Structure 1
Amino acid sequence: MPAQITAQEVKELRNKTGAGMMDCKKALQASQGNMDMAIENLRKKGLATADKKSSRITTEGIIDSYIHAGSRIGVLVELNCETDFVARHSEFQQLAKDIAMQITACQAVAYVSSDDIPQSIIDMETSIEIEKEDLFNKPQEVKDKIVSGRLEKRLKEISLMNQPFIKNQELSIEDLVKQKISLLGENIKIRRFQRFILGESMKKNT
């Protein structure tokens, strides 16, 4: 029978290793709640210590692209790291390609992380949720709670780091990047991206 793991235990393991929440929970369940064993398992998988590198400056990296079949959608992405040595590493270059492919697949994504979303967009999305008809007759406290939940969900939908990785739905893009940070030993940042859709914003001939 799987061990019952508390949210506090998951948080403690995350603080100690920097691994993702789901990875921490799985590691604790696999180790029957043994914290030291869970840490060891995460280190073996290369998921630990990523957060400790997150403040390091990233001035190297690559710009990569992905063109979808049919050549109607394309993406450019800039992925940064600390050294040219890592920028040339096959794992780093594959990460850039995977991220470009992810952006192509997730048409709603407009920002790298929720921290990048302008306050004006947050205010607009909040206003849209507040005006929805199904909230009109609800008490203000209930309405505020629903709006807050819907807003959080919406902001995650437009944030790349919150997306489930298309090659492994149990892994978020944030956790995927952390895996590569632990594997390659350097901080890695998705700096920016641009999506191109053939004929976008152009008027078609009638």
Structure 2
Amino acid sequence: MSQISAKDVKDLRDTTGVGMMDCKKALEETGGDMQKAIEYLRKKGAALAAKRADKEAREGMVIIKIADDRKAGVILELNCETDFVARGDVFSGFAGALASLALEKGAASPEALLALTLDEAYGGESVDDAMKTMTGRLGEKLELKRLAFLTAPDGVVESYVHPGSQLGALVQLSTDKPEEAKALAKDLAMQVAASSPIVTDRSAVPADYIEKEMDIYRQQALGQGKPEQFVDKIVTGRLEKYYQEVVLTEQSFIKDANARVSEVLADFRKKHQAQVDVKAFVRYQLGQ
């Protein structure tokens, strides 16, 4: 067997990011052939990924990338097994590379991103293969849990990521004054992250949600001995409070509890003589 030089081991480590001992073993197993050693490590990563397929990947991070012109944005959740790995530079760097690639290519689902190809920094592999290679490098199962892509050709996309990268939100506004709307969009992204709405306006609340809530309120009122003739009024009142919790435009604004989000939007329209509407939002919280 030919002697494996320290330089070759270092070069392989620089190329793959895998630990020194694993790189040394790969070179020994492949007779010092660098390309074969890289393939050896990739296969090892794939084998480890298969071995850890039944492991729980509940830690990780939520990451967002926004286009410089604020016309598009992507949010994704990448999971691993431990908080220790999630907080490391290797994992966060990989998550950032995935988000950047998704933004560049307009990938709108995990499946679409997994089929794309990363640059040479990650061996020019498909994302699917790079996930397996990264499993070999980190020793943990990785999972691309979810991904969303928003684009606003007629407006602006903004984001908020809570410190710790476990909670993030992406908001898409339609407006004829996108430059002026950036600060508003940022505030609304923070609103979505903090207040967890499910829809932009009450017309979008699913009918089965409303029926379920009304049934709960009705049973509660009857269970409390409320007279039958007052029950409908009580249900209507509680349903209004429900809308104020789950409808973005009806929530109390996080920067002014005395104002509704709808009022903040109306103030912006008046102040800037502008059209503005919330077209979409996405909120990811790690593990939810």
TM-score category by the smaller chain? 0.5 to 0.7
One-letter amino acid matched to 1:69: P
Alpha-carbon distance, 1:59 to partner: 6.4
**CA offsets, 1:85-144, max 9 Å, x none?**
x11x2x31000000000111103x111111221222111111111122664533211111
Does the CA-based 8 Å contact 1:114-1:156 persist in structure 2? no
2:190 is the alignment partner of 1:101: yes
**CA offsets, 1:133-191, max 9 Å, x none?**
66453321111111111111112211111112111222211111111111222210001
**CA offsets, 1:40-69, max 9 Å, x none?**
xxxxxxxxxxxxxxxxxx961011111011
Equivalent residue in structure 2 for 1:76, among 170, 176, 179: 170
SS of 1:125's partner is helix
One-letter amino acid matched to 2:165: S
Distance 1:169 1:66 in 2: 20
Q: Superposition RMSD on alpha carbons, in Å?
A: 1.8
Larger RCO (CA within 8 A; separation ≥ 6): 1
Distance 2:173 2:186 in 1: 10
TM-score relative to the length of structure 2:
0.45
One-letter amino acid matched to 1:143: V
One-letter amino acid matched to 2:237: G
> Of the two, which has the highest radius of gyration?
2
Distance 2:229 2:222 in 1: 15
Equivalent residue in structure 1 for 2:247, among 150, 154, 159: 159
TM-score relative to the length of structure 1:
0.62
Q: Which residue of 2 aligns with 1:142?
A: 230
Distance 1:124 1:98 in 2: 31
Distance 1:170 1:96 in 2: 19
Distance 1:114 1:194 in 2: 17
- Structure 1 residues 120 and 179: alpha-carbon distance in aligned structure 2, compared to 1, 3 A threshold: same
Distance 1:136 1:94 in 2: 46
Unmatched runs of 5 consecutive residues or more in structure 2: 1-151
SS of 1:151's partner is helix
One-letter amino acid matched to 2:281: F
Unmatched runs of 5 consecutive residues or more in structure 1: 1-57, 201-206
SS of 2:259's partner is strand
| Percent of residue pairs bearing the same amino acid type | 32
Q: Which residue of 2 aligns with 1:3?
A: none
SS of 2:199's partner is coil
One-letter amino acid matched to 1:138: K
Distance 2:187 2:259 in 1: 13
2:206 is the alignment partner of 1:114: no
SS of 2:265's partner is helix
- Structure 1 residues 183 and 142: alpha-carbon distance in aligned structure 2, compared to 1, 3 A threshold: same
One-letter amino acid matched to 1:156: Q
> Which runs of at least 4 in structure 1 moved beyond 4 Å after TM superposition?
none
Q: Which residue of 1 aligns with 2:157?
A: 63
